[in-house]
Structure 1
Amino acid sequence: MILELIISEFDFWLKENIRIARIKSEIDQVELSHRLGVSEGYIGNIENLKNRAKPNTRMISRIANALNLETYSDLLPKQVLENDIVRVKLELLKINTRKQVVNDDGEVPERFKLLSIEPLSSNEISRWNALKKPYLIDSKLQKKIFI
């Protein structure tokens, strides 16, 4: 299945890195939520690329501590990103999302193949912000933003 999202490029990588760090720490979403004192749904929402929920800087610090990370850089993008809001095209891979574990190499199996990341123009960003929709976009929404 192909998904297309409009999202802050920083948020895209932050959400994915939180999920990867949590799985590498061998902690499920429920356990992390208990360690942080937040609702179980909150962790799912901040890891879900289709959801606009995101952690603030205080929560990023708390997550790093709860996962016993040595550095915040484990959660942040690996480089300074050039783009703000982007259109991301992903191919979802068939993995068991309920049983998220590291493979024999100690890596988290990928849940998607990144097909493209394209920056939005300032006009597209303005139209997108005015709509206040979730990150996942459909054909009707694309017409309102890009046509």
Structure 2
Amino acid sequence: MILELIISEFDFWVKENIRIARIKSEIDQVELSHRLGVSEGYIGNIENLKNRAKPNTRMISRIAHALNLESYSDLLPKQVLENDIVRVKLELFKINTRKQVPNSDGEVPERFDIISIIPLNTDQISRWKDLKKPHLIDSKLRKRIFT
């Protein structure tokens, strides 16, 4: 399945790194939500790239503690990102992200291939904001923002 979305590049990597850190800690979304005292759907929402939900800095700190991480950097992008708002095109794999476990090497299986990450220019960001910041891109929105 191909997915196209507009998102802050920073938020994209934070969402993905939370999922990876949770799986490496060998706990599921329900357990993490219990440790944090949030609803069971909250973690699924912030890990789901199709959902606009994202954690604030306080929640990132709480997640790091709940996963017994040594550094907040485990949840943040590995380098300073050059782009702000980006158009991301992904090929999603059919996997159950709620029940994922690390493979025999301790690595988390990929859930998508990145087809492209393209920064939006100033005009595209302006048109995107005028459309109430839609997250997922369909063909109608693609025309209104990118042509």
Q: TM-score range by the shorter chain?
A: over 0.9
**Aligned partners of 2:101 and 2:108 also within 8 Å:** yes
Deviates more, 1:51-60 or 1:130-139: 130-139
Map Cα deviations across residues 66-125 of structure 1 (whole Å, 9 max, x no partner). Answer: 000000000000000000000111111233334201001100000001111100011111
Moved more, 61-70 or 34-43: 34-43
* Contact kept in structure 1, 2:128 and 2:134, CA below 8 Å: no
Counterpart position of 2:99: 99
Q: Which residue of 1 aligns with 2:43?
A: 43
Q: SS of 1:7's equivalent?
A: strand
How far, CA to CA, are the matches of 1:98 and 1:58 in structure 2? 23
Could you tell me the TM-score, scaled by structure 1's length?
Answer: 0.95
- Aligned residue in 1 for 2:140: 140
Give 1:57's aligned amino acid: T
The alignment of Structure 1 onto Structure 2 pairs a total of residues equal to 147
Displacement of 1:130 after TM fit?
A: 2.2
Match of 2:119 in 1: 119
| Unaligned ranges ≥5, structure 2 | none
- 1:6 & 1:13 partners in 2: Cα distance? 13
Who is 2:2 aligned against? 2
TM-score, structure 2 normalization = 0.95
Q: What's the Cα RMSD here?
A: 1.1
Secondary structure of 1:90's partner? strand
Mapped partners of 1:99, 1:134: distance in 2:
29
Partner in structure 2 of residue 84 of structure 1: 84
The alpha-carbon deviation at position 142 of structure 1 amounts to 0.8
